[in-house]
Structure formats: C-alpha cells, structure tokens
Amino acid sequence: MLQVSCATKYFMDQPVFSGFDLTVAQGRFHVLVGPSGCGKSTLFDGLTGVVDLDKGSLFWNHESISNLNHHAAYMQQKDMLLPWFSLLDNALLPAKIGGQNMKAAENQARRLFDRLGLKGYESHMSNQVSGGMRQRCALVRTLMFNRDLILLDEPLSALDTITRRGLQSLLLLLQTEFKKTILMITHDIEEALLLADEIYLLTPMPMTIFRHFVLESPKPRKFNDPALLEIKADVLDMLEKDLIHEPG
C-alpha cells in the first residue's frame, strides 16, 4: 500500500533520519518501536505533509504522491478534542470539513459510539469524561475520515495501565473489524507484541531500522506465548548489550 523510499529530514543541519525506507503492506498492523526523540513523530509529520521531507519519495499503491494527506487518518498522542464541542460534534469534524452528508455522518458516528463503548455520552463535553473515553472519541473521529491507512502516534501513552490495556483491544478492531491498515508508534515493547504483525526496532537519531520482526501468532495474544517471550528477550538483550546505542 505505502512505500517510503530514502526519506530524509534534517534539523539544524543534523539528520533526524536519512535514507529511511519502509514498506507498509495492506491489511497489516505495523509498529515502530524506538527511544524518545529518535525521529518517529517527525517521520509521521513528514509522511502527512505537516513538515516537508528534505529528500525521499512516497508511493501509494505504486503511484508517486507528495504526502499522505488524502490517504491516511492521523491520530496523535493527545486527543485534540475541542473543549467547546460535545463528544459527538468532535467526532463529526471530519464530515463537516469534508462537506459530507451530515445526517448520514451522524448515523455513522452514533454507530461507532455504540461499538466503541461511548453510547449515552454523545452530548457530554470532553472535560466531563475520563481520559480513556476522550481517546475513544478521538478514535471514532479518526475512523470518520474513512481512510484505508491509519497512523497512530502513541495514542495510549498518556493513559493509566488498566485503561491502556482495555483500549488496546479497540485498536485491534481497526484491523480486524474495520479492515484498516495500521502504522503505529509506541515506546512499549509489550504493547507492540500484543498488537503488531510487524515490529520495526529503531535506533536513536539518525533514525534507522535496527531489526525487523514478523509475528505470525494469531491475535488476540497473551504474554505466555513462547514466540512473544523470545522476541521480548531478544529486544531486552540488545538493549542490555548496548547494541541499540546513541550515535558516536
């Protein structure tokens, strides 16, 4: 679906990443795992056109594109809900911006509220609900863009552990029920192991792919799966042996 070729971005004459390649296959759940500040979010900003890449090419189904603006929905770490809108009105923003039929869009949003555990909270304001419910609303809003590819930039990192575990199952629905292709950023190797079909372990800046893991076990997964434990042990071993190290 998406081919990133030789993507390069500099900041203050220093490469954030240089010659970065990535292939995102349709229907797969891809997860980027790397240290803070390695360039993961900058990569997403470059892919979506928030910032310009200094070099590199993007291909969508083998056709050259400038960015993913019209091809992907982007859910960031913060829920970015507008506090003066109700949850439902926040979810309907993509439809309003896109000039869609609002009656049909509202029906779609209400179905998604029901499916993602928000039924009965449509008229609530964002300051009246928990952080987990705000993220559910942000997930509904992301689905309302009706894009085939969804970019997730640490969407659960600000939540407590119990809430986070509950929402991880909803992220799986993006792939299994809504038939989306996912490219997600996380710091949490266990979260990656639960959700991913493919994991890319990244180095500090200049960001490169250090290891690529393909997970074959079916989902939902449990951590007593020997294959998952082996991958987790490999990653921890790399970290302990300083194989993934600061440049220089």
pLDDT in tens, 187-226: 888 899 999 999 999 988 999 999 999 998 888 888 778 8
Out of 101, 121, 146, pick the residue that ends a domain. Answer: 146
Co-location of 21 and 54 in the same domain: yes
Is the model's pLDDT at 112 over the cut of 60?
yes
Name the more confident of 153 and 225.
Answer: 153
Q: Residue 72 class from Cβ within 10 Å (0-12 exposed, 13-18 middle, 19+ buried)?
A: buried
Domain region containing 212: 1-71+148-248
User: Shortest CA distance to 170 belongs to which of 124, 217, 114, 209?
Assistant: 114
> Under DSSP, is residue 34 helix (H, G, I), strand (E, B) or coil?
coil
What tokens were used for 245? Answer: 């190290």
Average pLDDT over residues 170-191: 92
Split into its structural domains, the chain has a count of 2
pLDDT at 243: 57
CATH number assigned to the domain comprising residue 7: 3.40.50.300
In sequence order, the β-bridge partners of residue 22 are: 4
**How far are the Cα atoms of 72, 183, 196 from residue 33, in angstroms, in the given order?**
20, 11, 11
Co-location of 67 and 159 in the same domain: yes
